[in-house]
Structure 1
């Protein structure tokens, strides 16, 4: 969890942030703000769980800050820390749902106990949010969208493990259709509806879905979605009580009734394309492609037609390499950096390509894959700001010359080799950029140790989000930035105490403490003795520098 300490007295903030063992109770990050306005800016950028704030601050009081937090970050817990024990403040604090009211000077254990209690309260609240009952209700509310997204994946040919797909369909309250005969119906809204605004068109689409459920209900189970072409797609499975030989005719008859009902009651026309039956899920992509192809070739610009997509696939002389276009696409996998999944997809593409090697147009299939793969590689390389030629070296010659590969084996070997080079280069670039980021952070801290070095000031210097640099720093070094700052301050303080004649208050200022008291407290917390005692022991030879 993450904590924010707010006080206009910088030494109070610094002491509480750096000298208390927050990590012992699971606080992973402590942020600091020296005004209510600065606190609000941090809250807009960070996921802060608990805020400890002073009351009396210029410009925006702690009570004002808490009121804003209650409004904009209702999950964040707030604690007031003040030297004022006035009842009026406590009364206002209660009204603003403050979790606790602590008086300065607060003891470390009291503060840790308060924050621990709030952590337990937060965990309890999130357990309630994530309870089975709440999640079930949320799932129920989003079922139509989730069902539609799954159907779109199947229409586009997404490959699913049978058990996983059955489990997901059961979770979404969909019937088990594996191996069952299904039909597809494509509905295209015509000109009457095209000019509607978004809200009106959405209502019409919703109304058509309801009409379809009403007309097909009792005879067919419907599952529908809206595809990328703005077609409404309905997958229908017949009730087991209907004789198999009657299902196709009944499906077309009911689809025709839907078309007529839309004309009569919604005062507009739709074109309807119905498919021949096919087995779920394997035949679904082909039936969908057949319907879309029929809408494109046989409906065209005509309005209000009704037809059956029959023999569309048979009329196609050259089929595409279907696996190449199944989601997730090559581009999506490369953009997400899913290298293993990308390699698996390429293997499936080449397996399908090999299965078509005896096809009269096998060379065109080879070109299709070649252009798709090389285009994806070029895209991701250019998106990362690098010429592909620099990444793949001599392999770029084959692209520049436009010479297609003559065999599936050669294209496969080339594609996988280029993929590995892309992966190695991006991994190397990521590691280099992270190393450079750590160096820049360390340099900034070293140069500004005497100043108020905060996570926000570091983030501003490297032009990155504070959350990002905080997480990357922890991943790369194993510690928090605040730990490094504190360690560096203590090391520099030890060196100056042992090797200079400067006063302790001068050393305190040099290592970033505005008040000697805070420096003394932090030094004793870290070394077990005060700075002056350390220096005295050095002179006596009791401690080696």
Structure 2
């Protein structure tokens, strides 16, 4: 029997403990995550853990059950909600129905009735899971959902092989609607090495694609196709700023793919462009972003605008790189691979450049083009060329004298030096990024509206990337860091200021003094007023 996770939410601890003890959760096919005392706590748990079913009371402090249900359904549409309450009012029941709650149960809750409800919910979850996992269903879906002409057109778009004069007619012939103001390419890369055994990776990829279509096809007017083994999504945006929301949407998709499809996917989000003819640039950025999974971890959404926010775009260079796949592998290794992997890619590049028996002129042209491309790469990544090539050195003349073996050794020295500079710049950017966020917390902790979303917008990065980098550098999530800092300020004010608790709560960013007291007690084990009294006693007041 497949196990699903359950979260109980109620501010009445006795009621929750009774439910926990009286229900045979394991026998019903559930694992109990525990319980939350209010909607805010429940949301925090849902962000950290995969929650399948929520049993929630309605009337609770800080966030009631209906508000919690609204938010959970927005974030996780497949979640199942059972509402129970002691308030037998028709308006509550109507709202529960609108929220598509599985059941609306009145207190006191009968254990037999509750067990019946959870058995029914388990059957519904099994049915939905089987529909997503059914191999025959996926095979049929695969055959029906990939029209060859559309696939060919999308591939031509990202390869840069569609002319302006052919666009309108092609979209009309293939019944494709790409009339957005802005566009962004997303690549979904499935880590095959982490896939479950016994299931064809192609079928897993189709399952991922189906999941993505369910979430994105309507809201993002997205087009889906398969290219080089990955699922590629062409998204359409109304405003350029929507790429932050797109990254967060993909972060949620990565989490859902892990649970629903048992697949580890990395979503790479490319640069936002305003023309369909610039989609090759966005695709190239998405490929670079996916490659950064070796640094930021698999199973995440990575936007190229987050990892290289200051990188200059050079259209002619990027289109050229699309045709220089082998050299592009070297560039990727410079940015994120180990020295050993970089050297391996350089060897492959030289070996596959068809230089076994070149004419002198062919060899000279190859060397000139290589040096020129390295200069362009330095420019694209804002690396000072004089740090790599001495000012008084004629690089073009120098390389003309190299044999293939000497060229390989020279290229390895140059690329290793570039790799070190880029890694140092990236480290400096990350530290500067986190430093700005910390300084913002220290100067704006009293702002009641301070949030991950607002701060990430101010720093021009997605909330998903912001959260990953902040926790990696500080060891704490942003919410925990903000709460800890607010609590430090509150402790000082409680001792040094003769103010009421609600005034101190407001001065450290809490609109609700009751929630401030709740958070304070959760962290320090006593209420603010008790802490203040104990502090005064220690001082002999």
Q: What TM-score do you get using the length of structure 1 for normalisation?
A: 0.48
Q: What TM-score do you get using the length of structure 2 for normalisation?
A: 0.48
Higher relative contact order (CA 8 A, sep 6+): 1
CA radius of gyration, larger in:
1
